[in-house]
């Protein structure tokens, strides 16, 4: 039977009503005869809230204790989701990071996964259970709880997909994919059908905070197709794979007020994009301070602030 991993982010599991939507998605896929491993984040803003409370107690809370505290957020979600799935007539079991066999180094608050012992997860899948794993956490060699850094549940999901040899890793959130630009900055960016790991890494390094950085690296290393979809609609999302195609400019990001980056494999192999950039810059009286190229990215720092109207113009002219 095929195995798939589904990860639901904090806004997707924020309350009981949202958990119902999540449960429906899970059940539909389970009924399609799949082994399902679900990874969940803490509910809504719970992690922020716990950090705030700890910082009210201490200016510099102990990192080990912070990991004990923050890991609770994810655990609450696993239990609630398992309770609901059981109520709906589906056998589900919640597992903490350590119960799921996720072993890490001892770098509290930014621990790295060292290995995953699948014994328990496989036993539960064998019994036909839906396995719900707490994201963002593991255990070190001295049985201390560790966490992976903000947004780290994505990494749990992709790492589990890698060791389970899952068909795909689905990352569900309140956005349904990767866009040609930030929808908060320009008026109608388009959703990409697919993008490569390499392009995704460039996007993250330019500040597009879509996925936890490490999860894309793990996906690339172990060849896990990552699909980002919305929890709240059935639109096709964006698939992240190894496939690289020379497809011109795919996405544009404004990292800070005067730096824009255009991402797309092979983008700097012709002068076409650069010429267009210079033309638009010229027309808008923007002076270039610095340009950087990689095979997949052109980044330009201007001497002036790039207003969102100009970003819009770049987007219109550069992205097909
Ligand atoms: N709950 C953690 C955070 O808010 C981890 C995650 O959501 O991925 O950063
Ligand atoms: Mg996230």
Q: What CATH number does the domain containing 293 carry?
A: 3.30.70.260
Ligand 1 binding site (Cβ under 6 Å of any ligand atom): 10, 41-42, 47, 73, 135-136, 150-153
Total domains present in the chain:
2
pLDDT (tens digit per residue) in 39-93: 999 999 999 999 999 999 999 999 999 999 999 999 999 999 999 999 999 999 9
Residue with tokens 């899952």, as numbered in its chain: 166
Among 120, 149, 174, residue at a domain's last position: 174
221 within some domain: no
Nearest atom of ligand 1 to the alpha carbon of 149: 9
Task: State whether 153 and 64 are in the same domain.
Answer: yes
- What does the angle CA 234 – CA 238 – CA 242 come to, to the nearest 5 degrees? 145
In testing the pocket of ligand 1, which one of 46, 73, 138, 173 has its CB within 8 Å of the most ligand atoms?
73
Among 149, 174, 199, residue at a domain's last position: 174
Measure 8 CA to ligand 2 centroid, in angstroms.
9
Task: State whether 159 and 264 are in the same domain.
Answer: no
Measure 41 CA to ligand 2 centroid, in angstroms.
8
Measure 237 CA to ligand 2 centroid, in angstroms.
16
Measure 9 CA to ligand 2 centroid, in angstroms.
6
233 within some domain: no
On whether the CB atoms of residues 54 and 63 are closer than 8 A, the answer is no
Task: State whether 264 and 139 are in the same domain.
Answer: no
207 within some domain: no
Task: Give me Rg for the CA atoms of the chain.
Answer: 21
pLDDT at residue 210, rounded to an integer: 85
Q: SS3 string of the chain?
A: CCEEEEEECHHHHCCHHHHHHHHHHHHHHHHCCCEEEEEECCCCCHHHHHHHHHHHHCCCCCHHHHHHHHHHHHHHHHHHHHHHHHHCCCCEEEECCCCCCEEECCCCCCCCEEEECCHHHHHHHHCCCEEEEECCEEECCCCCEEECCCCCHHHHHHHHHHHHCCCEEEEEECCCCCECCCCCCCCCCCECCEEEHHHHHHHHHCCCCCCCHHHHHHHHHHCCCEEEEECCCCCCCEEEECCCCCCCCCEEEEEECCEEEEECCCHHHCCHHHHHHHHHHHHCCCCEEEEEEECCEEEEEECCCCCHHHHHHHHHHHCC
pLDDT at residue 213, rounded to an integer: 85
Nearest atom of ligand 1 to the alpha carbon of 10: 7
Nearest atom of ligand 1 to the alpha carbon of 148: 5
Q: Which listed ligand is nearest to 76 at the C-alpha?
A: 1
Task: State whether 269 and 160 are in the same domain.
Answer: no
Measure 161 CA to ligand 2 centroid, in angstroms.
17
257 within some domain: yes
pLDDT at residue 102, rounded to an integer: 98
In testing the pocket of ligand 1, which one of 47, 50, 160 has its CB within 8 Å of the most ligand atoms?
47
On whether the CB atoms of residues 140 and 13 are closer than 8 A, the answer is no
Among 174, 205, 224, residue at a domain's last position: 174
- What is d(CA 135, CA 114) in angstroms, rounded to the nearest whole number? 15
Q: Strands 238-241, 226-230: parallel, antiparallel or unpaired by DSSP?
A: antiparallel
Q: How far is CA 248 from CA 41, 72, 131, 148, in A?
A: 35, 44, 41, 34
In testing the pocket of ligand 1, which one of 38, 152, 159 has its CB within 8 Å of the most ligand atoms?
152
15 within some domain: yes
Measure 10 CA to ligand 2 centroid, in angstroms.
7
Contact residues for 291 (Cβ-Cβ < 8 A; gap 6+):
274, 298, 299, 300, 301
197 within some domain: no
242 within some domain: no
In testing the pocket of ligand 1, which one of 147, 151, 209 has its CB within 8 Å of the most ligand atoms?
151
- What is d(CA 135, CA 181) in angstroms, rounded to the nearest whole number? 28
Q: Show pLDDT as tens, one digit a residue, over the chain (320 residues).
A: 899 999 999 999 999 999 999 999 999 999 998 899 999 999 999 999 999 999 999 999 999 999 999 999 999 999 999 999 999 999 999 999 999 999 999 999 999 999 999 999 999 999 999 999 999 999 999 999 999 999 999 999 999 999 999 999 999 999 899 999 998 889 989 999 999 999 999 998 898 878 998 999 999 999 999 999 999 999 999 999 999 888 789 999 998 899 999 999 999 888 889 999 999 999 999 999 999 999 999 999 999 999 999 999 999 999 97
Contact residues for 55 (Cβ-Cβ < 8 A; gap 6+):
61
Nearest atom of ligand 1 to the alpha carbon of 136: 5
How far apart are the two ends of the chain, measured CA to CA in Å? 40
* Sheet of 251-256, strand order: 251-256, 259-263, 297-302, 288-294
Token pair in block for residue 297: 């990215």
pTM above 0.75, yes or no: yes
pLDDT at residue 246, rounded to an integer: 80
What is the domain range of residue 260? 251-318
Query: What is the CATH number for 95?
Result: 3.40.1160.10
Measure 13 CA to ligand 2 centroid, in angstroms.
12
Task: State whether 143 and 38 are in the same domain.
Answer: yes
Token pair in block for residue 179: 């866009």
223 within some domain: no
Task: State whether 30 and 170 are in the same domain.
Answer: yes
Token pair in block for residue 28: 């539909």
Measure 141 CA to ligand 1 centroid, in angstroms.
23
């Amino acid at each position: 039977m095929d195995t798939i991993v589904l990860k639901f982010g904090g806004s997707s599991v924020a309350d009981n009503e949202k958990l119902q939507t999540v449960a429906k998605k899970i059940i539909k896929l389970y009924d399609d005869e799949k082994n399902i491993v679900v990874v969940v984040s803490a509910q809504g803003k719970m992690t922020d809230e716990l950090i705030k409370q700890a910082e009210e107690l201490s200016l510099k809370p102990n990192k080990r204790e912070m990991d004990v505290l923050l890991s609770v957020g994810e655990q609450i979600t696993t239990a609630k989701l398992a309770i609901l799935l059981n109520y709906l007539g589906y056998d589900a079991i919640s597992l903490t990071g350590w119960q799921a066999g996720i072993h890490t180094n001892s770098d509290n608050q930014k621990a790295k996964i060292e290995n995953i012992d699948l014994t328990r997860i496989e036993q539960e899948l064998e019994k036909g259970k839906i396995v719900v794993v707490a994201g963002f956490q593991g255990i070190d060699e001295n049985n201390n709880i560790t966490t992976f850094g903000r947004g780290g549940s994505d990494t749990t999901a992709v790492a589990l997909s890698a060791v389970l040899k899952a068909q795909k890793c689905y990352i569900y959130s309140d956005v349904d994919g990767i866009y040609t630009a930030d929808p908060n900055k320009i008026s109608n960016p388009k959703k990409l059908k697919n993008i490569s790991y390499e392009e995704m890494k460039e996007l993250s390094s330019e500040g597009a905070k879509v996925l936890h950085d490490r999860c894309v690296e793990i996906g690339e290393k172990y060849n896990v197709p990552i699909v980002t979809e919305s929890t709240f609609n059935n639109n096709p999302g964006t698939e992240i794979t190894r496939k690289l195609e020379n497809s011109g400019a795919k996405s544009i990001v404004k990292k800070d007020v005067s730096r824009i980056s255009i991402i797309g494999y092979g983008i700097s192999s012709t002068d076409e994009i650069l010429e267009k950039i210079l033309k638009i810059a010229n027309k808008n009286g923007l002076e270039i301070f610095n340009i950087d190229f990689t095979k997949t990215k052109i980044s330009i720092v201007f001497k002036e602030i790039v207003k969102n109207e100009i970003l819009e113009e770049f987007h219109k002219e550069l992205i097909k």
